[in-house]
Amino acid sequence: MPITAPPRAWMDPELELLRDTARRFFETECAPNHEAWASQKHVDRRIWKRAGDLGLLCAGIPEQYGGGGGHFLHEAVICEEQQRALVNSFSINVHSGIVAHYLLAYASEAQKQRWLPAMASGEMIAAIAMTEPGAGTDLQRIRTTAVRDGDHYVVNGTKTFITNGFHADLVIVAVKTDAQAQAKGVSLLVVETRDLPGFRRGRLLDKIGQRAQDTVELFFDDVRVPVDNLLGGEEGRGFSQLMQQLPRERLLIAVGAAATMQRAVDDTLAYVQQRKVFGEPLMAMQNTRFKLAECQTASTIARSFVDDCIARLQRGELDVPTAAMAKWWITQQLCQVVDDCLQMHGGYGYMNEYPIARMYADARVGRIYGGANEVMKEVIARAMDR
């Protein structure tokens, strides 16, 4: 009798319906395309439109801006289903969970009306570009500049590792509006990329995992952006805007990692129950039983912690160190669990046709992006050492 996961205190009939829709979509319309999308290193653009039609984009954005009128739980349900189906080929987290919320929090009313409905329908695809070849963790040292010229900024610089960048029509770009200042020189500019002179996408980067997801370089060469597109309307606020959004972004990473962890355990249990070694199912061996028990324990704890963080976020009480704990610990556990689960698959676990092999390669980046896990520990230690 399989262990049934404890019921989620926060689920309700409306969220169940959303979960069903998301599950069907990711399993039947996305997962079968994985190989094709992986070989071209990006999804077909139409899938964004389809996700929009089904209400799976901007689910946590108010209806007055074209969104689903939900909240974080709606985004969490979609994220869980996407990760459970191993569909990490297009980042709804970045589009809906990050960019849309920056716009909701800091854009003007007119900008919200212009951008959010188009993002909710999937006509506009969004990305966020902070990282540069010379500055990832240390964002104060970004070198992309935005220099005021009349009612425009002139943007010059290079961004790298940008998720959704291949299709993106709207990119929030971290720039220096004061090149001499550190954090106080950072601002966020919304760049609409369609037919934009001086804007160029680089190559689709070749990754060890998440191979169907487009990750690109972006180049800005004297790109003119209206001054109005400065988020928050005041220069130098970018760093604090980034900091304010971090807990929900990091929690979304943890939510996805916890969902993948349970998928790894479920797949492995099914495998070891049917695989015979020395005339017996692998599951009869004590090592297999103990390892799976450990993996299920980790998954259960991860899920409980995620649910606790979700409850805190809903109450407006999720602080930066707690979100950092969820991000580092759950992404680290995911890598350990997936490694153990791959081992139980033997040689088959090393074959790409087995989902566990993809989980192994896909999971690794969770310890790097969204703030490297070492940085998460620094954040936690700093809060302890006050």
Per rule CB under 6 A, is residue 218 in the interface with ligand FAD? no
Q: Which amino acid is at 368?
A: I
Per rule CB under 6 A, is residue 27 in the interface with ligand FAD? no
Give the residue with the Cβ less far from ligand FAD, 307 or 378: 378
Per rule CB under 6 A, is residue 369 in the interface with ligand FAD? yes
Give the residue with the Cβ less far from ligand FAD, 61 or 376: 376
Beta strands in the chain (DSSP E): 126-129, 145-149, 152-163, 170-176, 186-192, 199-204, 215-226, 276-277, 280-281
315 vs 327: CA distance, rounded Å: 19
223 Cβ partners below 8 Å, 6+ apart? Answer: 154, 155, 156, 191, 196, 197, 198, 199
Judged by CB under 6 A, the stretch of 38-46, 74-82, 159-167, 285-293 that binds ligand FAD is: 159-167
Per rule CB under 6 A, is residue 372 in the interface with ligand FAD? yes
Judged by CB under 6 A, the stretch of 22-30, 100-108, 180-188, 371-379 that binds ligand FAD is: 371-379
Longest dimension (CA), the chain: 78
∠ at Cα 41 (128, 131), nearest 5°? 25
Residue in 249, 280, 317, 353 annotated catalytic: 249
What's the DSSP call for residue 283? G
Judged by CB under 6 A, the stretch of 76-84, 260-268, 277-285, 364-372 that binds ligand FAD is: 364-372
Q: Which of 367, 325, 370 is nearest to 128 (CA)?
A: 370
278 Cβ partners below 8 Å, 6+ apart? Answer: none
Give the residue with the Cβ less far from ligand FAD, 2 or 134: 134
Give the residue with the Cβ less far from ligand FAD, 129 or 230: 129
Q: Which of 61, 92, 94, 103 binds ligand FAD (CB under 6 A)?
A: 94
70 touches 59 (CB < 8 A)? yes
Per rule CB under 6 A, is residue 38 in the interface with ligand FAD? no
**What is the closest distance, in whole angstroms, from the C-beta atom of residue 128 to ligand FAD in the complex?**
5
Judged by CB under 6 A, the stretch of 22-30, 130-138, 147-155, 245-253 that binds ligand FAD is: 130-138
Per rule CB under 6 A, is residue 273 in the interface with ligand FAD? no
Q: Hey, which residues are catalytic here?
A: 249
